[in-house]
């Protein structure tokens, strides 16, 4: 009787374990560098979950570097969200400090997350600040303040962020943006930033620019043996009503790459 009981328990354990493993394999876990602190940050979760309601979202902001590193191990993709400026010390322009709104902890956190994600070849989606810090992490530089450092014909920042829209043009394509080849006319994006790429890291290539020549999207020059990466200056999480094709296609590409990464682990 005891042997039968033990056998039944063992079989139940196997069934439960298999069930948990199966459930785990169908749910993606996406880590976001900061997804708390206001309504704007919550939009990243809302947007991604509109594309896949089963997602598990991890917030890294507020964690120690050690805890964040351990939590990243459980993630299938990394989203670097928007927010305050990257400290100009990191791109050799300390004299621009007074032009910037700085979060030193966040800089340290995100540089560590980027390095770890790249080492793991984990998919990365960089949005606005995320786009900027990726460029800096790879050796690029930024305009610390576009209005005073770049002659511009495009308003990249407005008091009402939802009314700040402008056209972009694609100047190159990679596999992540090939879907845009059929939609090249009047591509409208939003923006809410006063910083931008002044010098693109050598490993990267520009994909899209605004009418004043500012880089709006970039990717690897050579994607061989690299993380999947989408990096954009605009905010796809707020673009769904204006340009759903562009916004949601980017999110889906990122999630599909995260699924492939998950299955490869």
Cβ-based neighbour number of residue 222 at 10 Å: 8
Active site residue 183: no
What is the spatial distance between Cα 199 and Cα 135, in angstroms, rounded to a whole number?
A: 9
What is the spatial distance between Cα 154 and Cα 175, in angstroms, rounded to a whole number?
A: 28
> Up-side HSE of residue 190: CA atoms within 13 Å toward CB?
22
Would you list the DSSP string of 199-231? E--TTEEEEEEETT--EEEEEES--TT---EEE
Tokens of 96: 């621009």
Active site residue 73: no
Active site residue 235: yes
* Catalytic entry in 75, 128, 156, 166: 128
The answer to whether residues 130 and 231 touch, using CB atoms and an 8 Å cutoff, is yes
Q: Which residues are catalytic?
A: 128, 235, 237
């Amino acid at each position: 009787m005891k042997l039968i009981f033990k056998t039944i328990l063992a079989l139940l354990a196997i069934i439960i374990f298999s069930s948990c493993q199966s459930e785990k394999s169908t749910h993606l876990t996406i880590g976001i560098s900061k997804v708390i602190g206001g309504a704007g940050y919550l939009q990243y979760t809302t947007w991604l979950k509109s594309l896949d309601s089963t997602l598990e979202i991890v917030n890294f902001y507020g964690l120690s570097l050690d805890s964040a590193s351990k939590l990243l191990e459980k993630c299938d993709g990394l989203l670097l969200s928007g927010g305050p400026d990257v400290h100009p010390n990191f791109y050799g322009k300390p004299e621009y400090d007074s032009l910037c709104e700085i979060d030193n902890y966040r800089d340290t956190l995100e540089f560590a997350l980027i390095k770890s994600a790249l080492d793991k070849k984990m998919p990365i989606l960089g949005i606005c600040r995320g786009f900027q810090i990726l460029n800096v992490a790879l050796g690029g530089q930024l305009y610390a303040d576009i209005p005073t450092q770049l002659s511009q014909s495009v308003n990249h920042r407005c008091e009402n962020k939802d009314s700040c829209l402008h056209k972009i043009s694609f100047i190159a394509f990679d596999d992540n943006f090939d879907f845009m080849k059929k939609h090249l006319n009047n591509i409208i994006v939003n923006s809410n930033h006063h910083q931008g790429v002044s010098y693109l890291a050598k490993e990267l290539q520009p994909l899209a620019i605004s009418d004043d020549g500012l880089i709006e999207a970039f990717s690897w020059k050579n994607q061989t043996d690299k993380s999947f990466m989408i990096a954009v200056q605009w905010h796809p999480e707020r673009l769904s009503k204006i340009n759903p094709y562009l916004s949601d296609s980017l999110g889906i590409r990122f999630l599909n790459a995260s699924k492939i990464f998950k299955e490869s682990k």
